[in-house]
C-alpha cells in the first residue's frame, strides 16, 4: 500500500501536513515530525519510506485482502482506540500480513486547484524526483509493526497503545 502526502495552507505560506489523524510513522508516532533518522533522510530525498498507517489524499493498495474479506472499512471496536477508518484499515492490513505500507514524498497534493499548483511549486513535481535508478534507490527494508502506536482521539488527548489491541 502506498500513499501520497497531502498538505494544506493553514492561513500561511508554509504548507502543513494535513492527514495527521491517520498517518503514523513506522515507530508508531504522529507525522508532526518524521522519525526515525532513516525515514527523515528518505523524506528529504523524496524517496518512499515505510509507515504504520497513511491515507493522505491518494492511496493505492492491493485488493486481495478486501476481496478475501480479511480487511474492510470499519469503525473502532469497544475497548479499541478511537481512530479513523483509514488508520483501522492499515491496522487490519498489518494484522492480516499486508504490512508493506509506505508513503511517497515525491507525490504531493492539496485540496484545491490553486493551492495544488502552489504545493507543486513548493514541493516539486513527481517527475523532478523520479530517477531511472528507481528500483535500487527506492528499495525499502521492510520492518515489523511497532509495538505501540500513538492513539489520538483528539489533538488534546493522545496516548500510546498496543498496535494490535482488540485483534485476535
pLDDT tens per residue, range 149-158: 999 999 899 9
Q: Long-range pairs for 66-73 at CB < 8 Å and ≥24 separation? A: 70/96, 71/96, 71/98
Q: Interior CA angle at 104 toward 156 and 161, to 5°?
A: 35
Q: Residue 95 and residue 90: Cα distance in Å, rounded?
A: 9
Q: What is the pTM of this model?
A: 0.92
Q: What is the pLDDT of residues 61-102, one digit of tens each?
A: 999 999 999 999 999 999 999 999 999 999 999 999 999 999
Q: Residue 46 and residue 129: Cα distance in Å, rounded?
A: 6
The phi and psi torsions of 160 (rounded to 5 degrees) equal -95, 140
Q: Residue 143 and residue 140: Cα distance in Å, rounded?
A: 9
Q: Long-range pairs for 124-133 at CB < 8 Å and ≥24 separation? A: 124/46, 129/46, 129/105, 130/106
Cell of 108: 504531493
Specify the pLDDT at position 168. 76
Cell of 63: 485488493
Specify the pLDDT at position 35. 63
Amino acid at each position: 500500500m502506498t500513499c501520497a502526502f497531502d498538505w494544506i495552507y493553514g492561513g500561511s505560506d508554509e504548507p502543513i501536513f494535513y492527514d495527521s489523524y491517520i498517518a503514523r510513522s513506522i515507530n508508531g508516532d504522529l507525522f508532526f515530525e518524521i522519525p526515525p533518522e532513516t525515514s527523515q533522510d528518505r523524506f528529504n530525498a523524496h524517496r518512499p519510506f515505510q509507515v504504520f498507517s497513511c491515507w493522505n489524499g491518494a492511496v493505492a493498495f492491493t485488493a486481495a485482502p478486501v476481496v478475501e474479506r480479511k480487511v474492510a472499512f470499519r469503525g473502532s471496536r469497544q475497548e479499541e482506540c478511537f481512530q479513523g477508518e483509514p488508520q483501522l484499515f492499515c491496522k487490519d492490513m498489518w494484522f492480516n500480513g499486508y504490512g508493506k505500507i509506505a508513503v511517497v514524498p515525491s507525490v504531493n497534493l492539496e485540496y484545491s486547484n490553486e493551492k495544488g499548483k502552489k504545493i507543486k511549486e513548493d514541493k516539486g513535481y513527481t517527475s523532478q524526483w523520479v530517477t531511472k535508478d528507481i528500483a535500487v534507490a527506492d528499495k525499502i527494508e521492510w520492518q515489523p509493526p511497532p509495538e505501540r502506536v500513538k492513539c489520538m482521539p483528539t489533538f488534546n488527548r493522545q496516548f500510546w497503545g498496543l498496535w494490535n489491541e482488540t485483534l485476535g
